[in-house]
Amino acid sequence: MHGLLIVFEGIDGSGKATQSAELVKRLNDAGRQVMHVSFPDYDSPSSALVKMYLHGDFGKNPSDVNPYASSLFYALDRFASYRTKWKDFYQQGGIVIADRYTTSNMVHQMTKFDDEQERAQFLEWLEKTEYTELELPKPDCVILLDVPLTISEKLVKERAVRGGSMDIHEQHIDYLRRCHAAYQILCQKYGWRRVECTHEGAIRSIHDIANDVFCEIQTLLATKAQEEK
C-alpha cells in the first residue's frame, strides 16, 4: 500500500513553509519518518521554465501566459521531483509533506479564466494531465491555511524586506485577490481541510496553528491505520 501525501496550500505568505516544517518536526518527534518536498522545486533544473515565468520573461503580468502553458511548467517540475526524489519512498508507505502541489496550479492558473465553463474545463484537463498522464499521486489530505489577504500581503512584504524578492504573482494584488477567492471555492469543491490562521483579525501564533494542523493529521493517520488492519 502506498504512503500518504499531505499538501499545504494557501495564498502567498500564508505560512505554508513555516507550518510544513513544523509538521515535519512534530511527526519526526513522534517517531515517524517523513519526507518534505516543496513546489516549485527551485533547487532543481526542472524549475527553469517556472523561474522564467515568475521572473516575467514571458510577460510582466500573470495573464500574459496562457494557463495551459504555465501549468505545464509547474507540472513537469513536479514530475521531475516525484521521479527523482520521492516516488520510491512514497510507494513504500512513506509520509510525504508537500508545500504546494497540483492544487496550486488549480487555484493560481484557474483564476486566469473568468468564465465558469472555461474554469471547469481547465480543472478537468489539469487533473487528467497531472494525475493520469504524468502519473503523479493524488493528495490524501490538503490543508488550506486560511489567511485574509491583508495579512498575507503584509507577511510577503516583510519577507521581501528581509531579503527575498516579489515574483510576478506577488506583484499583482488583483491577481492575489482572485487567488484568495479561488481558494475558498476549491476548498469547498474538493473537501480541503481549512485551518483558520487568524483570530479576531490578528494572525494566530505559529504554535497554535501547528496544533490545529497536527490534530487533522493525527485523525488522518488513525483512519489510515484502521484501514490497514
Ligand X SMILES: Cc1cn([C@H]2C[C@H](O)[C@@H](COP(=O)(O)OP(=O)(O)O)O2)c(=O)[nH]c1=O
Of 127 and 212, the one with the shorter C-beta distance to ligand ADP is: 212
Minimum gap (Å) between residue 171 Cβ and ligand ADP = 15
15 binds ligand ADP per the rule CB under 6 A: yes
- Report the alpha-carbon distance of residue 87 to residue 181 in Å, rounded: 33
The residues, ordered by sequence, that sit 6+ positions from 96 with a Cβ below 8 Å of its Cβ are 3, 4, 5, 6, 34, 35, 36, 37, 86, 89, 90
- Cβ atoms within 10 A of the Cβ of 70, count? 22
- Report the alpha-carbon distance of residue 220 to residue 65 in Å, rounded: 38
Minimum gap (Å) between residue 203 Cβ and ligand X = 16
149 binds ligand ADP per the rule CB under 6 A: no
Q: Which residues lie near ligand X (CB under 6 A)?
A: 12-13, 39-40, 54, 74, 100, 104-105, 108-109, 167, 169-170
| 139 and 6 Cβ atoms separated by less than 8 Å | yes
Minimum gap (Å) between residue 104 Cβ and ligand ADP = 10
Of 108 and 204, the one with the shorter C-beta distance to ligand X is: 108
Residue 39 binding: pick among ligand X, ligand ADP, none (C-beta 5-8 Å cut-off by kind): ligand X
Q: Which residues pair with 142 in a beta bridge?
A: 7
- Report the alpha-carbon distance of residue 217 to residue 11 in Å, rounded: 21
Residue with the three cell numbers 471555492: 185
Q: Mask of contacts with ligand ADP, 188-227, x by CB under 6 A?
A: ---------------xxxx--x------------------
Q: For residue 56, with 0-12 CB atoms within 10 Å meaning exposed, 13-18 middle and 19 or more buried, which class applies?
A: middle
Minimum gap (Å) between residue 164 Cβ and ligand ADP = 8
10 binds ligand ADP per the rule CB under 6 A: yes
Residue 206 binding: pick among ligand X, ligand ADP, none (C-beta 5-8 Å cut-off by kind): ligand ADP
The residues, ordered by sequence, that sit 6+ positions from 114 with a Cβ below 8 Å of its Cβ are none
Of 3 and 15, the one with the shorter C-beta distance to ligand X is: 15
Minimum gap (Å) between residue 40 Cβ and ligand X = 5
The residue ranges that bind ligand ADP (CB under 6 A) are 10, 12-18, 155, 159, 203-206, 209
